Structure 1
Amino acid sequence: MFLKNSFFLFCIIGYLSISPFIAIAQEHPSLILTKAGVEKIRAELGKVPLFDVSLEQLKKEVDAEIALGIDTPVPKDYSGGYTHTRHKKNWIVLQKAGVLFQILQDEKYAIYVRDMLMQYAELYPTLPAHPKTRSYARGKLFWQCLNDSNWLVYVSQAYDCIYDWLSKKERKNLEKNLFRPFADWISVKNPQFYNRVHNHSTWGNAAVGMIGLVMDDEELVERALYGFKDDALEVGAKDNDGGFIKEEGQKTGFLANLDEPFSPDGYYTEGPYYQRYAMYPFLIFAQGLHNVKPELKIFEYKKGVLLKSVNALLNLTDADGEFFPINDGQKGMSYYSRELVTAVDIAYHFGGNNPELLSIAQKQGRVVLDDTGLSIAMGIKEGRAKPFVKKSINLSDGSDGDQGGVGILRYGEEDLTVVLKYAAQGLSHGHYDKLSFSVYEKGEEVLQDYGLARFVNIEQKGGGNYLKENTTWAKQTVAHNTLVQNETSHFDGKYEVGNKHHSELFFFDTTNDHVQLISAKEKNAYPETEMHRTLVLIKDKNMEKPYVLDILKVNSNTKNKYDLPFYYKGQIMEMNFDYKVPKSLNPLGTSNGYQHLWLEGKGNSTSQNTKFSWLNNQKFYTLTMATHLNDELLFTRLGANDPEFNLRRDAAFMLRRKDVAKEVFVSIIESHGAYSPVSEFAVNARSSISNLEVIYDDIDFTGVLIETTKDKKSLLILSNIEASKSYEHKLEINNKEYKWTGPYYFGPVK
């Protein structure tokens, strides 16, 4: 008998050693927390201030939830409704309670997690698809599979934390009635959600993969990494946002979502708001893969793009840490969000302990309660933090970095910041705003981008979902600070056209801190039309503050009407032209966003310079434009055809130039002076620019003269064709010869 059993055991051991399909049981926790990491955390409790504070905050939050009792209601609401909010809160509290059980070894947290999961295991098999039918992929707990995936990403971590504490019978029940059918629903039952390249799918991939890692289910992990074959999914189908769900020959799965949306610089094509949202599943699943499957070397994938992406995302913020609202982006979202706390901690721990990240963590004031958070907290305790200095940066777009990008010019400690978008479409969250720009002064918007038209998770406004005005207004070209031709949006507002094209960088030069430039071209937004925009951030010793020079050259084969709006914030001070205000308001147009703009006033330029000044946050600003006689000057305000008051009442000053084919639009945005409501004194309340003039323009060069009120003259000559830094140029202007090397000349007038 002994020999027979021994032979059987020998055969089993031999089979295990050669078969890749039989996994040796792994220890738990191993997903985000590790056994070794937990032991180290326990040993350091009470010794690392930031970690201890974070632990205490989390404990108070979870204890309060435990005191309230468990509620897993039958789903019925959109975002912001009670059932949606309750299930969302449950996923957060479950994850945190699991962590507390591991660190504090208090069984009340394990009991709470188990009891809630058992309720879900009883509820889930009874649920049909969510009763709200708006989504292209309905979940069961939530109105869309996206939120179901959110739930599973977090809850898989809780399950990992109590896995060994549970009985085998309890685990079998949870996996049979909850986790496996849950993973199948958001993947094989909803391929239109799961099998694509999009932030939605990233959440789905991570959810399936993470629960697969905890359950030691290799099939689920493979499904997460590579997607699955599904020929029934129609090529060209669209989601609720108008984006294509499946494109010809498209790869799917987590790795495809790493390959395609990220550029080599770490820029995510959907824009910083959704990059922030997607960073959590990207990084938290990567951390799990690193811990459970280190052989994948996931943090080295695509030359370490995941860790690069954290640096890119931090650079896509203003002085207050708020993300630039490029594409669909809610204003106010910042690196203080829970996703960025996780991102900073993971990037520090796995990315070489960059001391600059410690200063961001100090501002955030909390850390994740795992190995990565302990690393950050220890680094801060040991005094290794250094300031995270945001400098001018150019971030490429596209999987190979060849589909345009976003350029950011900064002077000083973000005294003035200029953002130029010349990127690809940005998938379904992209806007039709090629060569649009925005300006910030120390975190305050000077010229703004609208962002998205949505009140996220506020039920009263469309169930917290995207409003129809996101399509009719926010995505349209006229909603941005860029050129509109014949009152139509770029690519005629068609995603399938815009998705094929991107703008191209002409040059980016920040070698001289006092004269920084970014220049890009767009050749496809309008038929037979090329736009070339150059933004220059200049610090002149004769000027109080830095200023922005904007040169937008358009070349078309036909005559057109051009509108160039500037979305300022604040109170109008003065202008140097006459205008009339209508007795009743009418929309500026009928479509492409124009139907949402009231025309509040109208005038015409009467000189070669038009000036428009405003006051915002006790600072004065002036827009100086080189204009033609009788250019139309329009005062517009958002709010027309908006019966539900879904849009902000933002204002714009718009230059309209008609019946032209080839034109140069030149302007200066200048910050100057201040007003004190306490002393009631206004200082330097008027512009220091006395003249702005295009003194030369042809196919090869454009020359712009800038003259200040102190009679100081400067000349910028831009090469329109040759951008090489080593190319030698020679040009005669007004009988004076200028020689220089590189794409531009900036200096005195001869």
Structure 2
Amino acid sequence: MSYQPLLMNFEEAAELRKELGKTSLLGEALSRDIKKVDTYMAEVGIEVPGHGEGGGYEHNRHKENYMQIDTAGRLFLITEETKYRDYIVDMLTAYATVYPTLESNVSRDTNPPGKLFHQTLNENMWMLYSSCAYSCIYHTLSEEQKRHIEDDLFKHMIEMFVVTYAHDFDIVHNHGLWAVAAVGICGYAINDQASVDKALYGLKLDKVSGGFLAQLDQLFSPDGYYMEGPYYHRFSLRPIYLFAESIERRQPELEIYKFNDSVIKTTSYAVFATAFPDGTLPALNDSSKSISIDDEGVIMATSVCYHRYEKNDTLLSMANHQQNVWVHAAGKTLSDAVESATDIKPFNWGSIFLTDGPKGEKGGVSILRHRDKKDDDTMALIWFGQHGSDHQYHSALDHGHYDGLHLSVFNRGQEVLHDYGYGRWVNIEPKFGGRYIPENKSYCKQTVAHNTVVVDQKTQNHFNTALAETKFGKKHFFVADDQKLQGMSGSISDYYDGIDMQRSVIMADIEEFEKPLVIDIYRIKSDVEHQYDLPVHHSGQIMRTDFEYDAETIWKPLGEDNGYQHLFNVGSGKTDNGSLVSWLHGNSYYSLISSAVAGSEVIFARLGANDPDFNLRTEPAFILRQSGKDHVFASVLETHGYRNESFEASTDARGLVESVKVVGDNDIATVVSIKTTTDNTYEYGISNQEGDAQLATHSVEFGGKAYTWSGAFALL
């Protein structure tokens, strides 16, 4: 068979050519690509810079070079304009001329350096995309041109990845995934099957110790979840799809898209299903707050899943949200479907529980979703999976945060209770070279930076990665059959010595409320007394409280370590009978109403203490502080009202929930009571039992009153 480009054969390119100048999603994507590449060719031309800091000029120029020639390769096939072909030839020739003589870059972290970049991960990416570009023009090159580019550039790179840094090639991790995909795609592009085999099956060719098949077999849980969280998960989709498409075209007998029960589809859907309603991905572990389903890898996945797996309406909704498709045959299939659809609703993957761990045995992520009549989605998420790191391979690969039973909530187009995400200014050279800032460890990873209970102002698992990797949570229940009443619950044990925790979240759609109530019952079991802090990280301006507090005129840190050193104490108040804190965020009001015991305190905090380089964002939070042995925090998050500043209008700035009380708690069940300003009372029972006992009928008596219900939880 004659040589064909890796990702797009000539017949497919001819079909895509028909979209030029159209207003379809594919047509618009082509127009954007043409404009961007033409501008880059005219303004930058051919430049091969030297070494530079991560995120610096040289780094960004090398990155832009490979991105632009990759796009130019597809444009050459689609438009048949030789200027794109010539640009790729000139760029690869320029690199091939200097690459053999280059010394290794200077690495300022623990990842090994490449010749172009400060770490081999970026070098892998350069070779992967450049190889895709090369395959698009291969059939136009003379033998002399091929020998120069292959012998003086690509073969040197392959040797670096599979020989010099062989110890990193076979690691089952997102870095290893990029390495094997880069070598495999390059091997296909230069007709080097021996390198392809190493990329597919590992250096030992055993399909287990390394290689692409081992990555697909070992990286993800049975539900497709990736231990490092959505940020690194979506990063893994690009090498997966680029290599999978190449394999499907060069070695179709491998049936890569069916491999391991179609794991490529399963893991893609797992990323899709974690997204907030606005498309952003939850900041679990080291994660950006802005990465969304508009990411290149997710766009590839959306297109290919629709093209190769199923014509799913939710994928149509995602593409409509993205307003983009992959410039590829799969993208055309999806673009055509969006073009012909008449009514596309906002995407919604529904309520879902995703297991973590290679066998689904290490906790997971629970997500509840509710859509109202205006197509506005409320989403609540709790996380209790394994620690998000691969410390066993390399200390630099520890992306885990210490925040078991973290809670995030989203509605009305914004994240209401949120996670900070990572401490990093990616590729911004003045900010620590674009690497993880020191505050990533001193604050962002610490438990207090998350919406979960902190014991005695310490961090879970003693902030010890090796210890944390031995711990994981457990699903207590997940019931989402009825949109009116959904619930999820998880537990963790000994994240703090001798302490067990269970968090149950109920999403209750009640007629008198504008939006579903998010009812949060956080149960703690301990034989000795501790201080328990429940941080609530939010955005916006405090509107009111139902307790007296003193504002601090001189701000001081809340503590000396474990993240508390970065939080200013800006005010506090005592409360014995519960607390209400209400704030305005965007055009919506939110109130958190919580139970309390004698001596409870609410502390208002603001991030930014001990931050001499202004690395951290300035964000508000408040902390519910209570003490005891066994203890239950019961809270209700109510969404209410509307504010339009341009019309100077505000409605329902005060919510309906007046108080929340823990009626009683024992090993059988917990009962909470919610009282409203309309004289209504709602009581909920939550089972604290496991297995079949959880599903049975529960009978408890608290304060002389008997409560009976069946199942994991119920409105009593």
**TM class, shorter-chain normalised?**
over 0.9
- 5 Å matches for 1:358-507? 358-383=316-341, 386-387=344-345, 388-412=347-371, 413-427=375-389, 428-507=398-477
Question: What does residue 584 of structure 2 align with?
Answer: 615
Question: What does residue 530 of structure 1 align with?
Answer: 500
**How much has 1:672 moved relative to structure 2?**
1.2
Q: Assess if the C-alpha contact under 8 Å between 2:49 and 2:61 holds in 1.
A: no
Give the AA of the match of 1:668: V
Deviations 1:18-55 (A, max 9, x none): xxxxxxxx533342112332343346656783323322
Q: Assess if the C-alpha contact under 8 Å between 1:577 and 1:603 holds in 2.
A: yes
2: CA distance between counterparts of 1:736 and 1:655? 29
Question: What does residue 4 of structure 1 align with?
Answer: none
Question: What does residue 338 of structure 1 align with?
Answer: 296
Question: What does residue 624 of structure 1 align with?
Answer: 593
1:552 has 2:514 as partner: no
Question: What does residue 14 of structure 1 align with?
Answer: none
1:591 has 2:561 as partner: yes
Give the AA of the match of 1:328: D
Match of 2:126 among 145, 151, 154: 151
- The SS at the match of 1:540 is coil
1: CA distance between counterparts of 2:376 and 2:266? 22
Match of 1:33 among 8, 11, 16: 8
Question: What does residue 67 of structure 1 align with?
Answer: 42
Question: What does residue 260 of structure 2 align with?
Answer: 302
Relative to structure 1, the CA distance from residue 305 to residue 586 in structure 2 (aligned partners, 3 Å threshold; closer, same or farther) is: same
2: CA distance between counterparts of 1:639 and 1:375? 49
Task: Compare 488-497 and 405-414 and name the one that shifted more.
Answer: 405-414
**How much has 1:737 moved relative to structure 2?**
3.8
Relative to structure 1, the CA distance from residue 133 to residue 675 in structure 2 (aligned partners, 3 Å threshold; closer, same or farther) is: closer
Question: What does residue 639 of structure 1 align with?
Answer: 608
Give the AA of the match of 1:62: V
- The SS at the match of 1:188 is helix
- 5 Å matches for 1:614-693? 614-658=583-627, 660-693=628-661
Q: Assess if the C-alpha contact under 8 Å between 2:6 and 2:132 holds in 1.
A: yes
Answer with 1 or 2: which has the greater Rg: 1
Question: What does residue 235 of structure 1 align with?
Answer: none
Give the AA of the match of 1:678: S
Question: What does residue 205 of structure 1 align with?
Answer: 180
Q: Assess if the C-alpha contact under 8 Å between 1:728 and 1:740 holds in 2.
A: yes
Match of 2:162 among 166, 187, 191: 187
1: CA distance between counterparts of 2:22 and 2:428? 41
Deviations 1:229-272 (A, max 9, x none): 59xxxxxxxxxxxxxxxxxx983222222222312222221111
Question: What does residue 313 of structure 1 align with?
Answer: 271
- The SS at the match of 2:31 is helix
**How much has 1:135 moved relative to structure 2?**
4.0
Give the AA of the match of 2:404: K
Match of 1:196 among 171, 188, 195: 171
2: CA distance between counterparts of 1:193 and 1:595? 36
- The SS at the match of 1:430 is coil
**How much has 1:69 moved relative to structure 2?**
4.9
2: CA distance between counterparts of 1:615 and 1:686? 11
Q: Assess if the C-alpha contact under 8 Å between 1:358 and 1:384 holds in 2.
A: no
1: CA distance between counterparts of 2:311 and 2:2? 27
- TM-score norm. by structure 1 comes to 0.90
Give the AA of the match of 1:743: A
Relative to structure 1, the CA distance from residue 679 to residue 55 in structure 2 (aligned partners, 3 Å threshold; closer, same or farther) is: closer
2: CA distance between counterparts of 1:326 and 1:34? 39
- The SS at the match of 2:37 is helix
Q: Assess if the C-alpha contact under 8 Å between 2:448 and 2:535 holds in 1.
A: yes
Question: What does residue 214 of structure 1 align with?
Answer: 189
Give the AA of the match of 1:597: L
Q: Assess if the C-alpha contact under 8 Å between 1:139 and 1:186 holds in 2.
A: no
1: CA distance between counterparts of 2:551 and 2:429? 38
1:226 has 2:196 as partner: no
Question: What does residue 237 of structure 2 align with?
Answer: 279
Structure 2 spans left out of the alignment, 5+ residues: 390-397
2: CA distance between counterparts of 1:229 and 1:471? 36
Q: Assess if the C-alpha contact under 8 Å between 1:327 and 1:430 holds in 2.
A: yes
- The SS at the match of 1:557 is coil
Match of 1:120 among 95, 100, 108: 95
- The SS at the match of 1:524 is strand
Deviations 1:589-629 (A, max 9, x none): 11111111111112211x42211111111322111111012
Q: Assess if the C-alpha contact under 8 Å between 1:521 and 1:530 holds in 2.
A: yes
2: CA distance between counterparts of 1:138 and 1:88? 15
2: CA distance between counterparts of 1:452 and 1:460? 17
1: CA distance between counterparts of 2:511 and 2:336? 44
Q: Assess if the C-alpha contact under 8 Å between 2:48 and 2:94 holds in 1.
A: no
Relative to structure 1, the CA distance from residue 153 to residue 641 in structure 2 (aligned partners, 3 Å threshold; closer, same or farther) is: same
2: CA distance between counterparts of 1:709 and 1:485? 34
Relative to structure 1, the CA distance from residue 651 to residue 173 in structure 2 (aligned partners, 3 Å threshold; closer, same or farther) is: same
1: CA distance between counterparts of 2:17 and 2:614? 53
Relative to structure 1, the CA distance from residue 385 to residue 708 in structure 2 (aligned partners, 3 Å threshold; closer, same or farther) is: closer
Q: Assess if the C-alpha contact under 8 Å between 1:267 and 1:309 holds in 2.
A: yes
Question: What does residue 394 of structure 2 align with?
Answer: none
2: CA distance between counterparts of 1:433 and 1:319? 23
1: CA distance between counterparts of 2:201 and 2:342? 40
- The SS at the match of 1:380 is helix
**How much has 1:560 moved relative to structure 2?**
1.6
- The SS at the match of 1:584 is strand
2: CA distance between counterparts of 1:443 and 1:29? 45
Match of 1:730 among 665, 688, 699: 699
- 5 Å matches for 1:213-292? 213-228=188-203, 251-292=209-250
Q: Assess if the C-alpha contact under 8 Å between 1:587 and 1:594 holds in 2.
A: yes
Deviations 1:488-545 (A, max 9, x none): 1111111111112210001100112111110000013112110000011111112232
2: CA distance between counterparts of 1:567 and 1:49? 41
1: CA distance between counterparts of 2:587 and 2:16? 48
Q: Assess if the C-alpha contact under 8 Å between 1:438 and 1:447 holds in 2.
A: yes
**How much has 1:554 moved relative to structure 2?**
0.6
Q: Assess if the C-alpha contact under 8 Å between 2:116 and 2:123 holds in 1.
A: yes
Question: What does residue 744 of structure 1 align with?
Answer: 713
Q: Assess if the C-alpha contact under 8 Å between 2:201 and 2:208 holds in 1.
A: no
Deviations 1:80-110 (A, max 9, x none): 3111111111111111111111112222211
Count of residues in correspondence between the two structures: 702
Relative to structure 1, the CA distance from residue 527 to residue 656 in structure 2 (aligned partners, 3 Å threshold; closer, same or farther) is: same
Match of 1:111 among 86, 98, 111: 86
Relative to structure 1, the CA distance from residue 586 to residue 208 in structure 2 (aligned partners, 3 Å threshold; closer, same or farther) is: same
Question: What does residue 674 of structure 2 align with?
Answer: 706
Q: Assess if the C-alpha contact under 8 Å between 1:318 and 1:442 holds in 2.
A: no
Match of 1:357 among 315, 327, 330: 315
C-alpha RMSD of the superposition:
2.0
